[in-house]
Structure 1
């Protein structure tokens, strides 16, 4: 095994990318800077908006002070059925692919301890929450017959197809404590333990112009595998302004990740084809959330959460790779903001819920060299490169059987972004290619192909719970 470090190269003043760095950038924001947002069916139906309402273990996903709102013990389990469809359009053609995944999405429990004293402290409650979500993602892009590579003097090929494939999961286990002071002030704290698994590949197909045959190529430093564990802590407070209004605030520390990774590399001048291993340390942004809730009566409640990243993603620098990534995030990353609105209406034992969430784009406008549909190369600026903003709509129903309850919800998440791929050039410092490889050829280019991707996620959740 050889310990290697990725060397990032600049395309323009605005955008760094080399080898797998587009994937590294995407995973940095999409996986390691986020956290599982799968809660109970009630939580998901209300778009994850509960920062000033609280009352159950899902408070640990937003504001741990919500644990202090609970007045009875509760245990729940949630089945998630998640559908993720990407449609990638390029050079006048489109490919769509759908992934369906069923899993245990959430388990939560709260134990309440009523303080039988004359003190103003009414309850001390303990909560545990487990949240799990699939991060599987597959983007297949059609080819372009005008995009021609000359492998040698007698063999030319046209671009046939590209596939970006990611398997894995992201899970978060949280434990916390919340307290109720005089039924007007609630405080809480939580500890969060995260685990991740990513198996990712990047392949391209080229078609021979002379024989019509097709050949598969793997990108340098792919497939790659990452196993990570992280830790964060959170603090929160909720205050009643009146019987009908509440305000909440929470702060979650950065997630401190330890990531073990391995990847394939090809045609190294010394080692040839081999596998490298390395370790990375990563710190996600510090996040703050403010919340407001309006509780008109026991029949209706409305909650609004606004979250903002206060710092930027950062890798511990072992070499040029991490330094270049940090430069990219320092210059071109925008602090993420998220708005969530959720409401619940009760009709006797029935529950009706709905919500909306918006997450901002993580990057400023980025300029890259790209292939046009005719095969020429030009520079173009994108305001939605790699990832973009997301909109989520949700609704759900529930029924309370006194001690037992059952909830169901549906969630639709949509996003459109520009997907760069197919670039790879020679690194002059070590003469190692970062392009696409087969056993017989290598493909090297200094420009991206860029497709338009529409991502739609349709998720269903079913929760069974018991109050005691």
Structure 2
């Protein structure tokens, strides 16, 4: 059994690291529609309604709308379809799974003092799966750009002396040394050099210029991406009802995330003069983190039929740790030789902090007695305020400037309705989320719709919903060198079941 080695990458020399970039920051700052079936059936338009466990995560004042103590658990069946186009190629990936989406309870304490204006106090706790990172796509097609540019960009400026093994020094030894002393960029140059993708312009040990062994022309590329993980939140809630018109609440939120990603590029060419004809480049990343945020909210009963809601979500402050590993394999038709560069090393990056943007949500609900309701939510979230810390680190300063220049305010609009027929409830909703990118092509706008039904058995309520959303995505294969983009049409749908109990 092979021994696995670990190296800690120096933070100050992590320039162009495969992790800690704008793509990851946006991923960890974004939420999906998740929660109870009733909440999702109305597309999450619950900011002025309350009376639902998932509504507490939108507006913490919502727990004070409950008339009695209750608990809810939710399961969801999610399906994700990605239709990917990459130059002349087209593929489809379809993934599905069952998730434990939500669980929570609220305890209601009604005042027995008729003279106090504080009519009700509530304590609640709710777990919600804010975002699932489970995803996969395959981009394959013929490109005029090669992965050799990735290794060249990292190599130019790196002395040849650092890339050649000394007597009795193994690939693992030198890869470890570079990670501990020179950083991620030098490791990429080393892989390219040892894999015969790049060569030095001269054999002087102080040479810092390199050329490619891959001739220009066309390249058949097959890039696979698979990720798993989730972003979850525990909300600890306190709320109160003041007189008969105002509900106030606060959430203390504990966040956690885990994200595992595996990418693999297979590139082949038969270009004249090319000494390297096949390249297989594999990268694995494992991320975990925890964070904290605060929510303040209020719901006002303007009239018996009209409610207004307002919520402020503070930024979430995450502490994140990451580990990564790499493997490179090349083949030459001319020399009939296959080279495998497998350092068998886990790169351990120093913990860093991420501040996601805060959010402001305004809500309006119109109630038609016991017959039904219509609800609308508007949220404002400025993704350009996303920040990696420590912000005085040169790499983080670069990424923060990149986010400030390329990200923008993203507004979200949610509309939902409910109609009751005796013990039955019929529901529907629509939502629109703007892209957080200024160019609106890196990640497009999201459109979604939903529908559902519920039945009140008395002590138990059962709710079922279906929701669907779609958006386009144009991710770069790599941040450096091979910056080709794949065009992905993403379609996400869920069937959700919730059971609610009086406690």
Q: TM-score, normalised by structure 2?
A: 0.77
Query: Could you tell me how far 1:61 is from its partner in structure 2?
Result: 1.6
User: Take 1:394 and 1:197, find their aligned partners in 2: how far apart are those partners?
Assistant: 28
Matches within 5 A, 1:30-429: 30=27, 32-35=28-31, 37-118=33-114, 119-132=116-129, 133-144=131-142, 146-147=144-145, 151=197, 158-209=219-270, 215-218=279-282, 222-264=283-325, 274-277=345-348, 278-310=350-382, 312-317=385-390, 319-365=393-439, 383-385=440-442, 387-422=443-478, 424=480
Stretches of structure 2 that go unaligned for 5 or more consecutive residues are 1-6, 149-196, 198-211, 329-341
- How many residues of Structure 1 are paired with residues of Structure 2 in the alignment? 413
Asked if structure 1 preserves the Cα contact closer than 8 Å seen for 2:132 and 2:230, the reply is yes
- Contact 1:35-1:171 at 8 Å conserved across structures: no
- Per-residue Cα deviation, 1:264-315 (whole angstroms, up to 9, x for no partner): 3679xxx977332221111111111110000012111111111112561001
Over the aligned positions, Cα root-mean-square deviation in angstroms equals 2.5
**Post-superposition shift, 1:159?**
2.8
Q: Residues 149, 316 of structure 1: CA spacing in aligned structure 2 closer, same or farther, 3 A cutoff?
A: closer
Aligned residue among 450, 470, 492 for 1:457: 492
What do residues 78-126 of structure 1 show as CA deviations (whole Å, max 9, x unaligned)?
1111111111102232111111120211112111101000212211011
1:200 to partner: Cα distance: 1.1
* Structure ID, larger Rg: 2
**Structure 1 runs of 4+ with >4 Å offset:** 6-9, 145-157, 210-215
Counterparts in 2 of 1:336 and 1:6: CA distance versus 1, 3 Å: farther
Q: Give the drift of 1:261.
A: 0.9
* 1:332-355 CA-partner distances (Å, limit 9, x unpaired): 210221111111110000010111
For residues 286 and 153 of structure 1, do their structure 2 counterparts lie closer, same or farther at Cα, with a shift above 3 Å needed? Answer: closer
- Would the alpha carbon gap of residues 153 and 246 (structure 1) be closer, same or farther in structure 2, given more than 3 Å must change? closer
SS in 2 for 1:106: strand
Q: Structure 1 residue 139: deviation in Å?
A: 2.0
Written as runs of structure 1 = structure 2, the 5 A alignment for 1:436-447 is: 446-447=481-482
Contact 2:12–2:395 (Cα < 8 Å) also in 1: yes
Q: Is the 8 A contact 2:45 2:377 kept in 1?
A: yes
Residue 435 (structure 1) aligns with:
none
* SS of alignment partner, residue 413 of structure 1: strand
In 2: Cα distance, 1:88 partner to 1:266 partner: 25
Per-residue CA deviations over 1:136-177 (Å, capped at 9, x if unaligned) read: 111210120655678476988823211222111111110111
Residue pair 1:249, 1:290 contacting (<8 A) in 2 also: yes
Counterpart in 2 of 1:441?
none
Higher strand content, 1 or 2 = 1
Larger mean CA deviation between 313-322 and 388-397 belongs to: 313-322
| Maintained 8 Å contact 2:76/2:98 | yes
1:266–1:274 contact (8 Å) kept in structure 2: no
CA contact (8 A) 2:232 2:256 kept: yes
Q: Distance in 2 between matches of 1:261 and 1:149?
A: 24
